[in-house]
C-alpha cells in the first residue's frame, strides 16, 4: 500500500500520439471532402514507431502514421486509413473530413506533469503498476507489511509434521491458516520467535517469556490460545504481566468466538515515551474454527489498519436464499458457515471444535446483533471464501 501519492514526473504519454493507423494532416485540408468529392494530399513522409518525426505537415500534405506514432509538427489530426485511398504514387485521396484533435491523444492527456497518478493509501492493482511503469516510476514509498507473530499455546498442541499422535495430542491446525490470513491482510506472519518456537507450553511463565521476546520484533501478536479456562487465564495473565496499556476486553458477543481477548501490550517502538502505543495482542479461542472466524472478523481488519489501510478491500459475495430457519440470540453476532448451490444457502452445523464445517463451507453469513434469527427463504448476503 502506497504511503504517499505518486505524481507524474512528466506529462504522459509525453508527446501527441496517433490513436489510429492513417495519415497526419491539417484538419482544415479535409473540410468538405466526401466520397463523391475526395480531397487530394501529397504524402511527404512516414512516421516510424519510436522515432521523432522528421517531417512537418504543411498545407496540402499528409504524413503516414502508425497507431501510437508521434504526431509530426504542423498536423492537428489523423485521418484513419480506412477513409483514404492511394490515388497515385505519393498522393492520397481523403473521403471523410476530420476535426482538429481527431485521431490524436494529447501529450498530457493521460496525465499532466505533477498530476497525481496514484493516491496515497492504495494497494497497488495491476493497472496501477502499468501507470507507474508508463511514468518511469519504478520505486514507491509504501507502508511496511506489519510483522505478525503467531503463538499457539497448549500442552496438547504438537507440530503439524508430527506423524504419530500420543493420546490427547492434537496437531497445530490454526497457525498455518492464520499465516495465510495474515498474508491475505498484507502482513508478514512469523510463527514464534527464534528462542520461542511457535508452540508454547502451558508451563507457568512460558507464554509471558515468549511474548516478552516477541514484543520488540512484532507489530501485532496473535495467540491461538489453549481452549480450557486454565490456559485462557494464563493468556490473560501473561498479557497483563507485560504491562500497560493492558487488556481492552476479554470476551466478545460473537458466536463462534466468545472467548476472545483483545489487548495492547508493553511499550511500542517508541520505548519510554509516555503514551506511546503498545503492540496490539489478539488472544484467539482455542477451537481452530472459532479462531479462524474471529480472526477474519477482527484480526484481518486490525492488521490492515496497522499496515496503513483504513478501508477493507471488497470481498467476493453472492446473494442467496436461506434454506432453513436460523436462530440467533439478540445482542450476539452470529457467523454461520454455509454451502451455496443454485442460489440457495444451506447452513452447516457442528461443534465449534470441528474444522470440517469450515472446509465444507463455500462462505459465511453474518446475523447481526439486533436480529433474533433469520427465517427460511430470507435473502442473505454470503461472503464467499475465495
Contact positions with its own copies (CB under 8 A) in 150-169: 154-158, 160-163, 165-169
CB atoms within 10 A of CB 85: 12
Residues found in the chain = 386
Q: How far is the CB of 35 from its own copies (least distance, A)?
A: 22
Q: How far is the CB of 63 from its own copies (least distance, A)?
A: 13
Contact present, 14 and 110 (Cβ < 8 Å): no
Burial state string for 300-336 with b = 16 or more CB within 10 A and e = fewer than 16: bebbbbbbbbeeeeeeeeeebebbeebebeeeebbbb
Nearer to its own copies, 267 or 308 (CB): 308
- What residues numbered 166-205 form the site for its own copies, per CB under 8 A? 166-181, 184, 202
Coil, helix or strand at residue 161: coil
Nearer to its own copies, 228 or 378 (CB): 228
Q: How far is the CB of 152 from its own copies (least distance, A)?
A: 10
Stretch of 110-118, 142-150, 205-213, 303-311 lying at the interface with its own copies (CB under 8 A): 110-118
Stretch of 47-55, 214-222, 266-274, 366-374 lying at the interface with its own copies (CB under 8 A): 47-55
Q: Does 133 bind its own copies (CB under 8 A)?
A: yes
Q: Which three cell numbers stand for residue 253?
A: 458477543
103, 104, 107, 82: which is closest to 92 by C-alpha? Answer: 82
Q: What is the CA radius of gyration of the chain?
A: 32
- What residues numbered 210-239 form the site for its own copies, per CB under 8 A? 226-231
From CA 350, how far away is CA 38, in angstroms rounded?
79
Nearer to its own copies, 37 or 342 (CB): 342
Nearer to its own copies, 243 or 313 (CB): 313
Cα dihedral 235, 237, 239, 240, rounded to 10, equals 160
Q: Does 19 bind its own copies (CB under 8 A)?
A: yes
Contact present, 207 and 223 (Cβ < 8 Å): yes
- What residues numbered 241-280 form the site for its own copies, per CB under 8 A? none
From CA 293, how far away is CA 287, in angstroms rounded?
10
Q: How far is the CB of 222 from its own copies (least distance, A)?
A: 13
Q: Does 48 bind its own copies (CB under 8 A)?
A: yes
Q: 42, 271, 330, 359: which one contacts its own copies (CB under 8 A)?
A: 359
Amino acid at each position: 500500500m502506497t504511503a504517499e501519492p505518486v505524481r507524474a514526473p512528466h506529462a504522459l504519454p509525453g508527446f501527441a500520439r496517433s490513436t489510429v493507423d492513417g495519415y497526419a494532416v491539417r484538419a482544415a485540408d479535409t473540410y468538405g471532402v466526401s466520397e463523391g468529392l475526395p480531397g487530394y494530399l501529397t504524402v511527404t513522409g512516414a512516421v516510424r514507431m519510436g522515432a521523432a518525426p522528421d517531417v512537418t505537415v504543411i498545407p496540402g500534405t499528409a504524413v503516414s502514421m502508425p497507431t501510437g506514432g508521434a504526431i509530426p509538427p504542423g498536423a492537428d489530426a489523423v485521418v484513419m486509413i480506412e477513409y483514404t485511398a492511394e490515388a497515385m504514387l505519393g498522393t492520397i485521396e481523403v473521403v471523410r473530413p476530420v476535426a482538429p484533435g481527431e485521431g490524436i491523444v494529447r501529450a498530457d492527456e493521460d496525465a499532466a506533469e505533477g498530476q497525481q497518478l496514484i493516491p496515497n493509501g492504495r494497494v497497488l492493482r495491476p493497472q496501477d503498476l502499468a501507470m507507474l511503469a508508463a511514468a518511469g516510476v519504478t520505486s514507491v514509498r509504501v507502508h511496511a507489511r506489519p510483522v505478525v507473530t503467531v503463538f499457539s499455546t497448549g500442552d496438547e498442541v504438537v507440530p503439524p509434521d508430527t506423524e504419530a499422535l500420543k493420546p490427547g495430542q492434537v496437531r497445530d491446525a490454526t497457525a498455518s491458516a492464520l499465516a495465510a490470513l495474515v498474508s491475505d491482510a498484507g502482513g508478514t506472519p512469523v510463527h514464534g520467535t527464534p528462542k520461542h518456537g511457535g508452540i508454547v507450553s502451558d508451563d507457568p511463565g512460558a507464554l509471558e517469556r515468549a511474548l516478552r521476546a516477541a514484543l520488540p520484533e512484532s507489530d501485532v501478536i496473535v495467540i491461538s490460545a489453549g481452549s480450557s479456562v486454565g490456559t485462557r487465564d494464563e493468556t490473560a495473565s501473561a498479557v497483563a504481566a507485560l504491562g500497560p496499556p493492558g487488556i481492552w476486553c476479554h470476551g466478545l458477543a460473537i458466536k463462534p468466538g466468545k472467548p476472545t481477548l483483545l489487548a495492547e501490550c508493553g511499550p511500542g517502538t517508541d520505548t519510554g515515551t509516555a503514551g506511546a502505543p503498545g503492540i496490539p495482542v489478539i488472544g484467539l479461542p482455542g477451537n481452530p474454527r472459532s479462531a479462524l472466524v474471529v480472526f477474519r472478523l477482527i484480526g484481518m481488519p486490525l492488521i490492515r489498519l496497522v499496515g496503513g489501510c483504513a478501508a477493507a478491500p471488497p470481498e467476493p459475495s453472492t446473494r442467496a436464499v436461506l434454506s432453513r430457519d436460523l436462530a440467533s440470540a439478540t445482542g450476539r453476532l452470529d457467523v454461520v458457515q454455509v454451502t451455496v448451490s443454485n442460489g440457495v444457502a444451506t447452513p452447516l452445523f457442528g461443534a465449534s471444535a470441528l474444522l470440517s464445517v469450515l472446509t465444507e463451507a463455500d462462505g459465511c453469513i453474518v446475523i447481526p446483533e439486533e436480529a433474533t434469527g433469520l427465517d427460511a427463504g430470507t435473502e442473505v448476503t454470503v461472503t464467499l471464501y475465495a
